[in-house]
Structures are given as structure tokens and as C-alpha cells.
Amino acid sequence: MKVSDYVKEGLKNRVEQKPEGYELLGAYKEGVHSVECYAKLEDGKIVDAKYISSKRCKKLMAVADLICERLKGQKIDNIKIDKDDILAFFREEREKDKMENRVSIVLKALKVNA
């Protein structure tokens, strides 16, 4: 999928400020790009995930949105996100190096090995 198509379909997990009842999972800033990830937890599981990111990068917004989708249902103490899986989802995107960078920014915010 292309980032532009994903964004057109709608970013389901993007918020402008910390959602009430959510915990900060982590934040990371690199240059002009920044992301904060939040989760709503029940019994140690992530039942919902949201993020705040810099608005100027559609690639970062799309990657963060997809990763938030993949967080749902995971145990908070055992988060697993497969970088290659995220990159494969956006395989139609041309700038592979930028996509890898944006994935690594979100994974660093989550403290998941990038």
C-alpha cells in the first residue's frame, strides 16, 4: 500500500493531545519528527492505542497509525512489532530509506528493538 492511500482511508489512531484514561508508552524525537504513543490498558493488555506525531510527515503518521493498530491486543510487558512486516505493508512506497527511518522512530518511542 502507498502511504498516500493509507492516509486517505483515514488515520484511526491519531490524536491531538493525550487521550484521557491512556498511559504514555513512550516518546521519541529525531530532527523535525516526533511521536508519542499512548495505550489504554485492561488486565495488562493494550485494548486501544493512540499517537501524537508531527503533522508534516505523512510517512510517520501512516507508520505510527499502523503500529498502533498492531499494538491492540498485545500484552504491555511483551510488545512485539515486526519492522519488516510494517515495511512490507507499505511496499509500494518508493523511498525505502525514509520508511525504514520512520518505522525506527516509532519503535524507539515504544522501546522496541528497531
pLDDT tens for residues 49-79? Answer: 999 998 889 999 999 999 999 999 999 999 9
Number of domains in the chain: 1
Q: Indicate the pTM of the whole model.
A: 0.95
pLDDT digit string, tens, across residues 13-57: 999 999 999 999 999 999 999 999 999 999 999 999 999 998 889
For residue 112, name the pLDDT band (cuts at 50, 70, 90): confident
Per-residue model confidence (pLDDT) at position 15: 97
**DSSP track, the chain:** --HHHHHHH--SSB-SSPPTT-EEEEEEEETTEEEEEEEEEETTEEEEEEEEE-TT-HHHHHHHHHHHHHHTT-BTTS----HHHHHHHTTT-S-HHHHHHHHHHHHHHHT---
pLDDT digit string, tens, across residues 80-97: 999 999 999 999 999 999
Q: What is the CATH number of the domain that holds 34?
A: 3.90.1010.10
Give the domain extent around 56.
3-110
